[in-house]
Amino acid sequence: MTNFDSEMKKRVTEIKSVIEGYLPEEGGFQRTLLEAVNYSMLVGGKKLRPLLMQQTYVMFGGHSAVIEPFMAAIEMIHTHSLIHDDLPAMDNDEYRRGRKTTHIVYGEAMAILAGDALLNLAYETAARAFDLEPSNPHIGRAFQVLAGKTGLDGMIGGQSVDVEFAGQPLQEEQLYFIYRLKTGALIEASMMIGAILAGATQEEVDKIQQAARCVGLAFQIQDDILDVTGDSEVLGKTAGSDEKNQKTTYVTVRGLELARGDVQRYSDEAIRILRELPCENEFLNELILNLVHRSS
C-alpha cells in the first residue's frame, strides 16, 4: 500500500468518526426513521466531500474544530440526495455502496422521510458551528454557501433538470448544466466552505470554486464511464443503470474515448488552478487525481 493509500484510509476513518458524533440516537416513537437515517449514513462511501472540505481548510491554515459540523452537514446533504436518487420515481436502484438501498430496506415512504430528515439535520448540524465560535465572522458566509449550493440554483436544481429530461436526448450544454449543479455544486460547496472558514480572500475562494467545478465535472464524467465499463460488485451499485433508465450521459454524447480525455483535461485544469494559489496541499492534489481516475 502506498503512503497515499494509508494516509487516505487514516483520514477517512477520522472523518467517519467525526460524522458519527453528529448522528441521532435511535429511540422514541420515530425510531424507525432514525434507524433509516443512520443506516444510510453509516454505509461505506469515500467521504469525498467532507475530505475535500477538510483538506482545503487545512491548505489555507485552518486548525479549528469549527470545520467539523460543516463536514458532517455536507455528507448528510449528499446522503439525502442519494436516498432520493435511488427511489423508484428516479433511478430505481436496489444497491448503493454495496448494500441494499434505503427504500428497499425501509420502504419508499420511510426512505423519502429519511432523505428529508437528513437535509434538515444537515442545517441543524452546520448551525452548531455558531456555538463553537460565536464571534467567527466566516461561519455565516459558509452557511450561505452550504444552503445555496444545495437548493434551486445548486444540487436540487440540477436534479430537477435531470429528472425532467430523463429518456430524452440532451444537448451538451444541458448535460453540462446538470453535471455542474447536480454533482458539482456540493463539491464546490465543500471546497469553498473549507477556504472561507480558514479565512481565505474572496479572490482565493473564487479560484477554489473554479478548481472545484473542474473536479465535479471530471468526477461525474468518470461516473458515467464506470456505469458503462464498471462491474457492479466493484462499484457497489448497479452498473448499467443509465442505459436502463434511458439517460443521456457524457458517454452517449461524446463517446467513451473523448469522455476519458475530458476527465484528464478537467482534472489537470483543477490542479493547475490550485497550484496558482499562494498555499498548497499535495495530499489534496493527489486526492483529486485519485478520485477522478477511480475504478469504483
Give residue-wise pLDDT tens across range 86-95: 999 998 999 9
- More confident site: 164 or 295: 164
Over 90: is that where the pLDDT of 132 sits?
A: yes
- pLDDT of 22 over the 70 cut: yes
- Among residues 196, 274, 188, 257, the alpha carbon closest in space to that of 221 is found at 257
Range of lowest pLDDT (44-53, 181-190, 195-204, 287-296) = 287-296
At residue 244, the pLDDT reads: 58
For the chain, domains (ranges, CATH) are: 3-292 (1.10.600.10)
Q: What is the Cβ-side half-sphere exposure of residue 4, based on CA atoms within 13 angstroms?
A: 11
Query: Nearest-CA neighbor of 59 among 266, 286, 281, 289?
Result: 281
Question: Which residues are 96's β-sheet partners?
Answer: 99
Query: For residue 1, what pLDDT is reported?
Result: 45
